[in-house]
Structure 1
Amino acid sequence: MKVTIREEVLQYQDQIIEAWLEQVQTFRQDESLKNISASVYESTSREFIDKLLITLQQDVVADTELNQFVEKLIQMGWPLNFITRGLQEFRKASVKIVAENSDEFSSKIEFFQDIENWVDEVVNLLVDQYSGSWENTVFLQKMALKELSAPLIPVFDKISVMPLVGTIDTERAKLIMENLLEGVIEHRSQVVLIDITGVPVVDTMVAHHIIQASEAVRLVGATCILVGIRPEIAQTIVNLGIDLGKFPTKSTLKKGVETALAMTKREIIETEA
């Protein structure tokens, strides 16, 4: 940005800040911003405009303080449109106030073009930063979920349990299959209990994945028992005409463990104190 134009913006910065804060208050109608308290919203807005003016004063778009501020907004869960709309309002306020106080029309046109280019450059930089940080956060969360979503847990010698929680899609079903087969071999399991207590909906696709998993376990020499079948799940399975008759099913994990112990020729008995 040209030195003269930058100096004009900084000369009228108090009026620009006042006009900008007034416009930014209208953003509060957005659903994503309604839950933020008035004091936090105002302090964050003031910090945003301060960072913009510092960036403008230093004439460095990729300013460290502005980047750190945007990173903080990302961590706090603020929406991206607060940043983009805030920059557009900064442009509008700057153009309007400088135009009202400038005598030469030609300088107004030059200013408009220069500030427009500057705002576009800042928007592109911050959007890239926001998108990259968001994608990285989503990727890390996805990897953490994968690591925790389908563990095979040995509970007794030759008996393991795989608790399933949440929705099962095709990608997750593939992960379940891999963990299941690797765990059966690693723990030398003879019986595997697949617990679907935490699965909210069992439809045809979910049942198909479970059947595939049980067949794969059978091929490596182990037996699958499906446990955690709630009454509503049982009714859904019947209504959909899904055939789960190829492997045992139990209503609770406790009954499944008892069955698994019997299949491995063991039982739980009470002892005298």
Structure 2
Amino acid sequence: MKSAVIEHLKEQKDKIVQMWMEKMDEAVSDMPSTNVNYSALVTTNETFAEVIYNYILNEGSSEDLNNFIGRILRFGWPLSYLTHGIQVFRKVVIEVIGKKAENTKDLLRLYHQTDAIIDPITNKLIQDSAESWENTVYLQKNALLELSAPLIPVMEKISVMPLIGTIDTDRAKLIMENLLEGVIEHRSEVVLIDITGVPIVDTMVAHHIIQAAEAVRLVGASCILVGIRPEIAQTIVNLGIALHDFPTRSTLKEGIETALKMTKRQIVFIDQEGSD
């Protein structure tokens, strides 16, 4: 029965918390990424101990533990602070209540009961931390995807989509969606896809770009591929990728000049002195 350990935890609370605080104070100072002042560390340790005790004694709720775990992770503390804290708590509890055992059999029983009480906390800690991390990664990935494929109207009828980083299947799908929605929304007649920031253009990347260009053509606009660096041009030739179906330019400046011609416009330089 866990009741014996629970009673010991209630009776020895002050002693257990004090020992735990001392050991945590020593351990946390050696952990990386805990750049907090000492008073904040003491306060956090006190809260941690209280949350653990309340959870074990059913005086609090799993929500209190969830909130504490989430707060620690949001503040940038390492996960090792939480896992180490639980392990230190286990050792302190065993050390304190172990003195109450009358024989070896009694001691083993207390050990098993202590594990049965603290293991669920450890499991919950790992589960909540993993969920928090996965959620953070998911949100960051979506945010980066949304920011990494914008269609920017640079002037009437002309828009630019600058691409930066590696293009995978998921991102290619987002590029296609943003491209088509943007063309319709901005009433673009010419779209410049700028691959200056794409480090590698292989067959798959070229295939995605060609698909995007063909999709733009289907909604009544034209596409120009810009940012063709010498090494990219050589790769495209070596791979036998056909990009002759739509114009290509080495720089964005040249691409905009071409787009202006396609929309029957040109850049005119004004003589400031003559205008006076």
TM-score by length of 2: 0.82
Cα 1:113–1:212 shift into 2, 3 Å = same
Matched residue type, 1:104 = E
What's the Cα RMSD here?
2.9
SS of match in other structure, 1:160: strand
Looking at structure 1, the residues matched to 237 and 76 of structure 2 have their Cα atoms a distance apart, in angstroms, of 43
Partner of 1:118: 117
Q: What's 2:48 paired with? A: 51
Q: Distance in 2 between matches of 1:119 and 1:225?
A: 62
CA 168–16 in structure 1, closer or farther in 2 if over 3 Å, else same? same
**Deviation at 1:8?**
5.3
Partner SS for 1:4: helix
Query: 1:81: how far off?
Result: 4.3
CA offsets 1:33-78 (integer angstroms, 9 cap, x no match): 53544x6599648734652355326713636654433222211333
Residue identity over aligned pairs, in percent, reads 52
Against the structure 1 CA distance between its residues 239 and 89, is the aligned structure 2 distance closer, same or farther, given a 3 Å change threshold? farther
Matched to 1:96, the amino acid is E
CA contact 2:33–2:77 (8 Å) conserved in 1 = no
> Which of 9, 13, 23 is the aligned partner of 1:10?
13
Q: 1:188 to 1:19 in 2, by over 3 A?
A: closer
Which is further off, 212-221 or 248-257?
Answer: 212-221
Hey, what's the Cα distance between the residues in 2 that align with 1:8 and 1:109? 20
Give, as a single letter, the amino acid of the residue that structure 2 aligns with 1:172: R
Q: What TM-score does the superposition give when structure 1 sets the normalisation length?
A: 0.82
Q: In 1, Cα distance between the equivalents of 2:88 and 2:212?
A: 55
Distance 1:117 1:110 in 2: 11
Give the match for residue 187 of structure 1: 186
Unaligned runs of 5+ in 1: none
**Residues 224 and 248 of structure 2 are in contact (CA less than 8 Å); yes or no, is this contact kept in structure 1?**
yes
Go from structure 1 to structure 2 and tell me whether the alpha carbon gap of 1:165 and 1:223 turns closer, same or farther (over 3 Å shift).
Answer: same
Cα 1:85–1:181 change in 2 (3 A) is same
Cα distance change of structure 1 residues 11 and 52 upon mapping to structure 2, 3 Å threshold: closer
**Secondary structure of the corresponding residue to residue 84 of structure 1:** helix
Match for residue 175 of structure 1? 174
Going from structure 1 to structure 2, the CA distance change for 1:230 and 1:6 (only over 3 Å counts) comes to same
Inter-partner Cα distance in structure 1 for 2:73 and 2:92:
25
1:202-217, aligned counterparts within 5 Å?
202-217=201-216
In the alignment, is residue 226 of structure 1 matched against residue 225 of structure 2?
A: yes
- Larger CA deviation: 50-59 vs 233-242: 50-59
Q: CA distance change for structure 1 residues 184 and 235 in 2, over 3 Å: closer, same or farther? A: same
In 2, are the aligned partners of 1:10 and 1:57 still within 8 Å (CA)? no
Q: Deviations over 1:4-38 (max 9, x none)?
A: 2213552542344444555x459x4xxxx53544x
CA contact (8 A) 1:5 1:111 kept: no
Structure 2: runs of 5+ lacking an equivalent: none
